[in-house]
Amino acid sequence: IVITLISAGTAAAAADEPPTGRTDGPEGSEVGRGGYPHYGTPGSLFIEPFFGAAAVDKQTDLIYGAKVGYMIKEWLGVQAGYGYIAGDQKSSIYSVGIRNVLQNEPFNWHLGLDAELYSPDVGDSRFGIAPSVGAEVVITDMLRAGLQYQHDFIFADDTISINRFTARLQLKF
């Protein structure tokens, strides 16, 4: 009888505490357990090297560079980047912008808007804006691969237009 009472008392005490990994416990008990394994856990940093083609005024050249970003929410992030257009149109592109992620794993889509400084090796630097759209495949929680299209509207006396098609690999920290 004593063993039965001790067993029943221990079982009742254990029933009061939810098991780890559940979200019906005290505030903060679910941290690090369960949740959603989607892109961009709030507060996550990412680095995103890219390469591809940049069509500047009907001439196509290679572009490469990297972006570094911070996901404020699962669906919203800020980013800063640098790209270099090699070949005949040698130019640097410095950018700062936002990214909106539409999650539908294993495929995610994103929309972005960057403010850019277009700085050719020869000539004056110009300001521009660049909306973008892209798709990515979720490989692991920390790795994504994708494609992106970005159109740069560079404000100058003669309108400069750049169409960028890039492949990218995103590493999340």
pTM: 0.73
Structure tokens that stand for 17 in this block = 């505490």
Do 49 and 87 share a domain, yes or no? yes
Do 13 and 87 share a domain, yes or no? no
Give the pLDDT confidence of 149-172 residue by residue, as tens digits: 999 999 887 778 899 999 999 999
Give the pLDDT confidence of 6-63 residue by residue, as tens digits: 655 655 555 555 555 555 666 655 555 555 554 445 678 999 999 999 998 778 899 9
Which residues constitute the domain of residue 27?
1-35
Neighbours of 72 (CB within 10 A): 15
Do 112 and 82 share a domain, yes or no? yes
Do 105 and 22 share a domain, yes or no? no
Which of 86-90, 94-98, 168-172 has the least mean pLDDT?
86-90
Q: Look up the CATH number of the domain holding residue 165.
A: 2.40.160.20
Q: How far apart are CA 98 and CA 33, in angstroms?
A: 29
Q: How far apart are CA 49 and CA 79, in angstroms?
A: 12
Domain count, the chain: 2
